[in-house]
Homo-oligomer: A and B are copies of this chain.
């Protein structure tokens, strides 16, 4: 298997994350990101409309994949089984680049209040996409909302464990997110 070679888009994301970590999101300009990536500003703007769009880049795709997986789950699947199908669909699309970006994203988020707020809003966006997909399957309101919240938690936890783990672990994200969902399901039984 060929070593992963970052293209322009990936270099922009990596440069931005490093700069956000070093000097915060607010203190970083598009010009600085382009320079760090060894690209021109106009190359930056061919890939991203602005600095903010760079943050939203992954969210739309992830929302779509989670919702697709839920929609395509077997007829009669329980709400959590449908969520598991969504996690599996999204997880199988995540590759080495996502795994490598994970700890860098965490570092950048830890260094910036603005990025922390963005991360929260992103999670809520993912939960909304999953709630809608479950509602479209006929899952009633509070159940759909709860199942979607558990799905976001499971994705976050599974992704963190996967991307922070050593190279010895599997390259596949799905076992991590599905195990996290399983743990949350067990947790729901001890709520009282």
- Residues in A lying within 8 Å of B, measured CB to CB: 77-81, 117, 120-121, 124, 140, 142-143, 145-147, 149-150, 153, 157, 183-185, 187-188, 190-192
Contacts and interface: CB of A to CB of B under 8 A. Distances in A.
A79 B124 contact: no
B143 A191 contact: yes
Nearest to A140: B187
A81 B192 contact: yes
Contact of A190 (B77, B79, B81): B79
Contacts of A192: 77-81
Contact of A150 (B120, B146, B183): B146
B191 A79 contact: yes
A153 B142 contact: yes
B153 A191 contact: no
A134 to B, nearest CB: 10
A191 B150 contact: yes
Contact of A121 (B79, B117, B142, B146): B117
A142 B191 contact: no
